[in-house]
Amino acid sequence: MKVFLSDGSALEVKDGASVYDVACEISMGLARVTILGDVNGEIVDINHKVKENDKINLLKMDAEESLDALRHTAAHIMAQAVKRLYPGTKLAIGPTIDNGFYYDFDSEHVFVEADLVKIEKEIKNIVKEKLDLERFELPRDEALKLMEEMGADYKVELINDLPEGEKISFYKQGEFTDLCRGPHVPNTKLVKAVKLLSVAGAYWRGNENNKMLQRIYATAFPKASLLEMHLKRLEEAKKRDHRKIGKEQELFTIMNEGPGFPFLLPKGTELKNTLLEYWREVHKKADYVEIETPLILNRKLWETSGHWDHYRENMYTLKIDDNDYAIKPMNCPGGMLVYNTKLRSYKDFPIRMGEIGRVHRHELSGALHGLMRVRAFTQDDAHIFMLPSQIKSEIINVVNLVDEVYSTFGFKYHIELSTRPENSMGSDEEWQLAEESLEGALIELGVDYKLNPGDGAFYGPKIDFHLEDCIGRTWQCGTIQLDMQLPQRFDLNYIGEDGNKHKPIVIHRVVYGSIERFIGILIEHFAGRFPAWLAPVQVKFIPVADRHVEFCNEMKKKFEDSKLKVEVDSRSEQVGYKIREAQLEQIPYMIIVGDEELNSDKLAIRSRDNGELGKMTSEEFVEMILKEIETKAMKIQEF
């Protein structure tokens, strides 16, 4: 039979051939390094049987999908090791996650850090045993019987929840068998570097009414050197933790009186305002107007938008005059109402409305994490109302604007295109047009993107921007969502060139996303060493003695007149101590003032990044730093 390779060429293989056999037909060398197959867009094991006209891409270990499969296999090996060491343990689930995997266990034994060393040792034994992973499928009744015989209560529940007709597959390695969709690497010997990281509690299926299980987090790599680099990055991430730096630099705090509701302190507020000033500068240049919509709106609005039916579990609701209201989780519906304040013409388009809007969303307490996952945040929303003919050009404009902003902060990023989810609104034709418009814009821009099927918003597909920080972590921030549903639900209209009413198309988009979260990302990206244009305090005067304080305050006023952010450390402390404190606070510039400076027109300048700069007049220094701020120059502390 004939199959087709990734380069479009045809290959004759025997009937019943596997992905591995296809690789062998090309070369034995390729077969030795093939880990998985991509068959018609589905990632499969190398033992997967191919069919006539299948399109096949052979994946080596350096493919993203192969690393995911290796970690999935590592999760099975870890579960096998736990079962060997603690035979009464019941297995729940063991998925891969970003940069690793975990497995949830129901065990009478309470796992502690010391146990992780024992489990790692047994994992190495299993790897040395070079066990093949064998996939097999069973009918539902036989699958249930097998799991019941094994005492696998959690697996029985999972099987019972599977829809009728769903394939029920298992993987076996040595004496160990687990319910699993796969795919996996072919042999345990490929899992050469595993590290167990931590133990945590986790409710079965994330429901606090279910039993608390024990979750072991871990990671795996095909080489020890890659694992070593990852562990170094984890250590670096601890040093850069925005919660630690935020406390040290007095940027924000989370209080018991408001879990998930961050308090921005004066310096954090200064940082946020700088981000907003830059946002307004960029958007004014791009012809956006700014609006502000109410924080609380009634139930009817949220029913019209679809949020009451599709998103209510994430919303805070309340009663006003015996009527239902909600604190807005999104700014979109308010933007629709603003559009409807007057009848629009096709000549008005595109209309670009930006909003710095405060939103609230109910997050489970276990998911809260500093500024990264909160219940109240500020979203830099914008809604673009346009004609169908303007879709592609407006999407291109937004992508270019996002690129400009991220480049300013020194971020690299990748793009994902997310398509129609299961619980969506709208017709097939509308979704097809929306998805083709987004994809067409990305193709015209010539940018690489990853397809993320089924992960769009309920009202439209979206483009997501995933930032990469200086230690290689990714953060989803910006998004562009194309919407043909809210214009219909809110009865938005414009008078077309033909004199009749028509429905506009809407783009929803954010650049920062959550501004609070973006601040958290910036803290960790820069390791607290903000460039001068972002720093809440740009210059700190350090008087050597009390008699120098008055001069410092005079210079502070002079610098502030030039729009610089300045502090004077007038504490009665040793000058060396005050310099060390300023260094810990990561102040971009320090100016040490002693008797010599009082009797001279020159200042002693110390740069955080470049050390002693020598003597400068105040005018020379102000000119230098203002240029640095204007050009938004930055120096990122590399890992």
Euclidean distance between CA atoms 375 and 382, whole angstroms: 21
Q: How many H-runs (helices) and E-runs (strands) does the chain carry? A: 20, 34
Q: What are phi and psi of 276, to 5 degrees?
A: -70, -40
Residues 6+ apart with CB under 8 A from 570: 543, 546, 549, 552, 553
- Catalogue the long-range contacts made by 81-86 (C-beta closer than 8 Å, 24 or more residues apart): 81/119, 81/122, 81/123, 81/125, 81/126, 82/107, 82/119, 82/216, 83/176, 84/122, 85/118, 85/119, 85/122
**Do 541 and 593 form a contact (C-beta atoms < 8 A)?**
yes
CB atoms within 10 A of CB 210: 12
Burial of 574 (0-12, 13-18, 19+ CB in 10 A): exposed
CB atoms within 10 A of CB 286: 15
Taking Cα atoms as reference points, which of 133, 73, 100, 121 lies closest to residue 220?
100
Task: Name the β-bridge partners of 605.
Answer: 591, 614
Residues 6+ apart with CB under 8 A from 131: 173, 174, 187, 188
Euclidean distance between CA atoms 56 and 50, whole angstroms: 9
| Residue corresponding to tokens 């992508």 | 399
Q: What are phi and psi of 379, to 5 degrees?
A: -110, 130
Per DSSP (E only), the strands in 180-240 are 193-203, 212-221
Catalytic residue positions, numbered: 332, 361, 379, 381, 383, 462, 508
DSSP H or E run through 270: helix 266-285
Largest interatomic CA distance in the chain: 93
Radius of gyration (C-alpha) of the chain in whole angstroms: 29
Euclidean distance between CA atoms 581 and 319, whole angstroms: 50
- The secondary structure of residue 547, as a DSSP letter, is G
